[in-house]
Amino acid sequence: MLNAAAVFFLIAIVAWMFGFGGVAALSASMGKTLLGVFLVVAVLGLLFFGGAFRRVS
């Protein structure tokens, strides 16, 4: 997912350089959305599976 976000940001930069503003905006928006989803999943994974809520017996 993080790789896909990086690819979308790269596509946005290349499209912006060639003057395709609509494609650049759409690609940047998709990259931002995927990055947000990745961060939410990463934080939830660390909280629930990283040992933050493990009981000490």
Give the mean pLDDT of 32-50.
91
At 15, the pLDDT band (50, 70, 90 cuts) reads very high
At 55, the pLDDT band (50, 70, 90 cuts) reads low
- Other residues' Cβ atoms within 10 Å of the Cβ of residue 16: 15
pLDDT at position 51 over 90: no
Angle, helix 2-17 to helix 21-49, in steps of 10 degrees: 160
Supply the pLDDT for residue 49: 84
At 25, the pLDDT band (50, 70, 90 cuts) reads very high
At 46, the pLDDT band (50, 70, 90 cuts) reads confident
Give residue 56's Cα distance to chain centre.
34
C-alpha distance from residue 32 to each of 5, 7, 17 (Å): 7, 11, 19
